[in-house]
Amino acid sequence: SVTDGALGAGEVAEAIEAHLKSSYSYTLNPKADAGLSPLDDFLFGSRQGYCEHYATAMAALLRAKGIPSRIVTGFLNGEWNGLGSYYIVRQQDAHSWVEAFIENEGWVSFDPTPFAGVASYRPSPVSLYMDLLRWRWNRYIIQFSFSDQRQIAMRFEGVGAGMFESLRGALSKKSPESAASPLALGAVIAVL
């Protein structure tokens, strides 16, 4: 058995993970046997599949050993866009892995999927800049929210209050250098 010699739940999980990574092959187009369930076909028939096959198989094997487990589906990090300081996450970054409950450690992540051998996509500086423009367009034009409008209004209110206080301070001085004619005062107020 794959887990012979394993003492604890963590070692059992590591043994299953290592077995799936080394004894099965990654493909996006697995051949399926019509007579078997997808899990049985993956484990005992074709022995090939993609991340969902691996995660499902590992979770089922852990549960058969009495170890609580769950399948997690999400996205890998994606590609870092240094121009805008954010990650570009694409559909190709979708992934499934497993979490097993290990005593005294809690939920621990395991990824039984072997490396796919697919060359990673490296965007050019031009495509990173275009993605940044697209992101900013979506964020500041398409998704411009009431909260954004409120923040801008509060900034203008703060700037206006500061200018008004400066003007009031300048006008309150009684020295001849700071005296303003009513016409000049009206022009400043109109500009504000």
Is 111 considered catalytic here? yes
Is 53 considered catalytic here? no
- Check 4, 51, 93, 148 and give the catalytic one: 51
Cβ atoms of 42 and 51 closer than 8 Å? no
- Check 19, 40, 41, 111 and give the catalytic one: 111
- Check 19, 93, 95, 131 and give the catalytic one: 95
Angle at 60 between CA 59 and CA 64, to 5 degrees: 115
- Euclidean distance between CA atoms 121 and 89, whole angstroms: 12
Of the candidates 56, 66, 72, 65, which has an alpha carbon nearest to the alpha carbon of residue 2? 65
Q: Which H or E element spans position 100? A: strand 94-102
User: Which amino acids are annotated catalytic?
Assistant: 51, 95, 111
